[in-house]
Amino acid sequence: MPRPPAVARVAPPAPLPCMKEGIMDKVIYLDNNATTAVAPEVRDAMEPFLRELYGNPSSIHTFGGRVAHYVEEARERVAHLLGADPSELIFTSCGTESDNAAIRSALATSPERHHIVTTRVEHPAVRNLCQLLATPAPGRAHYRLTELPVDAKGMLDLGEVDRVIDDDTAVVSVMWANNETGVVFPIEEIGALCRKRGVLFHTDAVQVVGKMPINLARMPVDMLSLSGHKLHAPKGIGVLYVRRGTRFSPFIMGGHQEHNRRGGTESVPLVAALGKAAELAEKNMAVEQTRVGALRDRLEKGLLAGAPSAMVNGDREHRLPNTTNISFEFVEGEAILLMLDQFGICASSGSACTSGSLEPSHVMRAMGVPFTAAHGSIRFSLSVYNTEEEIDRVIEVLPPIIRRLREISPFGREKLAAAK
Ligand SMILES: *Cc1c(COP(=O)(O)O)cnc(C)c1O
């Protein structure tokens, strides 16, 4: 018999320079609301499932069954972090999928209702879906959409939530904390209102899980979304919580996985990673609330004192401990980020210059932040891995950058001239 041709030998790719030199060690990473580093413990927890424990958790044989045990163990850990029952959790591929699954399920299980309530400051995972659902198109139902406004501090008016809910409302979807400003919404009160009015309530809690204690057993929340890569697990894993007794219609149809609620073989390595990340988050909760909060306050204080006309966007009282959004008036956010990047400092801006437009973010617009300030808004989001030295470095480096940018910006020059 002729032997099959040998597989061509291809040289493996060279390691990335940053891996080889370890230069990424020097990065000051203050962009944790975008994504977080995978915790070393989490990486270790995944490892067995990338090596010997590769079975399919749905298999009949013991080899697969063993893996199913670890999936359930991870589910219990995440449930513990949330104060939920493990049976209420569905593993998904990301926060975006969880948001889509929740809203689509609410609509599918209340076919007689055609009104969606959300806010103007949601993450695109909710906002773009709701706006699509509200767009008339042939062959598909479309919905009435109410996007609740926020005030200058990014806060919602509870009375307004109550006013907009009507007999036609199928679902209210309000984020627990805003990714750009860190502003925390009164989810318990909103949930109570929804319950009183008999409307399903979903919250996008992607930014809250791991940063603030959550006890879903005592919260009037029907569905909740979270994402692994925002709490030191890798990208590609999320959870949708669906309160027991809540009708649910699957978003992804397929096999019987996740009790028929989400088709597709569970990503066991990522599920195990999320389980470990949930356990770590519980352990680090106190650190998040105290040390991370203190570092954030130190950064904020240093920048407000050091940089001309810096101001904080969003309510400073009802806010995540790790986030600050600061506007540097008359300077462009992108320019600030590029200069920070030269010092290895990672943050992000509130304007969406990447899309080619110079529009400030929808969150800054909803809050009515003046154009000149919205353009210079920078989000710093910390994690338990940040140090005081890193924060002090930013306080040292950033104010001179702002002063320089203001001198060369046409806005800044006018402003300086006017001040003279
Ligand atoms: C990051 C984020 C998401 C999306 O999560 P992915 O896992 O990246 O899809 C949704 N909502 C909020 C508030 C987020 O910060």
- The number of the ligand 1 atom at minimal distance from the alpha carbon of 122 is 13
| CA pseudo-torsion sign 174, 175, 177, 178 | negative
pLDDT of res. 191: 98
* Torsions phi, psi for 414 (to 5 deg): -60, -45
User: Whose C-alpha lies nearest to ligand 1, atom 15?
Assistant: 179
Distance of CA 174 from the midpoint of ligand 1 (Å):
13
pLDDT of res. 280: 97
Output the six-digit token pair for 31.
């962009």
Output the six-digit token pair for 217.
């057993």
Q: d(Cα 59, Cα 377) in Å, to the nearest integer? A: 51
CB 80 within 8 A of CB 275: no
- The number of the ligand 1 atom at minimal distance from the alpha carbon of 175 is 13
Output the six-digit token pair for 376.
């210079």
Q: d(Cα 120, Cα 118) in Å, to the nearest integer? A: 7
| CA pseudo-torsion sign 340, 392, 329, 181 | positive
Residue boundaries of the structural domains of the chain: 28-38+285-419, 41-279
Distance of CA 298 from the midpoint of ligand 1 (Å):
27
Distance of CA 303 from the midpoint of ligand 1 (Å):
28
Q: d(Cα 90, Cα 123) in Å, to the nearest integer? A: 21
Catalytic residue check, 94: no
Sheet with strand 89-92: strands edge to edge: 89-92, 238-242, 223-227, 200-204, 169-173, 115-119, 144-148
pLDDT of res. 288: 86
* Torsions phi, psi for 245 (to 5 deg): 95, -10
CATH classification for the domain delimited by 41-279, as one of 3.40.50.1110, 3.40.190.10, 3.40.50.300, 3.40.640.10: 3.40.640.10
- The burial of 381, by beta-carbon neighbours within 10 Å (0-12 exposed, 13-18 middle, 19 or more buried), is given as buried
Distance of CA 205 from the midpoint of ligand 1 (Å):
9
Would you tell me how many other CB atoms lie within 10 Å of the CB of residue 171? 26
Could you report the per-residue pLDDT of 198-230, keeping only the tens digit for each? 999 999 999 999 999 999 999 999 999 999 999
User: Whose C-alpha lies nearest to ligand 1, atom 3?
Assistant: 95
CATH classification for the domain delimited by 28-38+285-419, as one of 3.90.1410.10, 3.90.1150.10, 1.10.3720.10, 3.30.590.10: 3.90.1150.10
DSSP 8-state assignment for residue 177: B
Output the DSSP codes for 267-318: -HHHHHHHHHHHHHHHHHHHHIIIIIHHHHHHHHHHHHHHSTTEEE-S-SSS
Q: d(Cα 265, Cα 232) in Å, to the nearest integer? A: 23
Output the six-digit token pair for 375.
């353009």
pLDDT of res. 413: 61
| Ligand 1 pocket list (CB less than 6 A) | 33, 94-96, 123, 125, 175, 179, 204, 206-207, 227, 229-230, 238
Averages of pLDDT over runs of 10 residues in the chain (420 residues) are 65 57 75 96 97 96 95 98 98 98 98 97 97 92 95 97 97 98 98 97 98 97 98 98 98 96 97 98 93 98 94 97 96 93 92 60 94 92 96 97 88 58
Catalytic choice (94, 194, 346, 353): 353
Q: Ligand 1 test: best mutation among 207, 224, 231, 361, most atoms within 8 Å of CB?
A: 207
Name the H helices within 110-177: 124-133, 158-164
- The number of the ligand 1 atom at minimal distance from the alpha carbon of 99 is 10
CB 124 within 8 A of CB 130: no
Could you report the per-residue pLDDT of 251-268, keeping only the tens digit for each? 999 999 999 999 999 999
Distance of CA 363 from the midpoint of ligand 1 (Å):
15
- The number of the ligand 1 atom at minimal distance from the alpha carbon of 34 is 1
pLDDT of res. 16: 53
CB 121 within 8 A of CB 175: yes
Could you report the per-residue pLDDT of 31-46, keeping only the tens digit for each? 999 999 999 999 999 9
Q: CA separation (Å) from 201 to 149, 172, 195, 204, 245?
A: 18, 5, 8, 10, 13
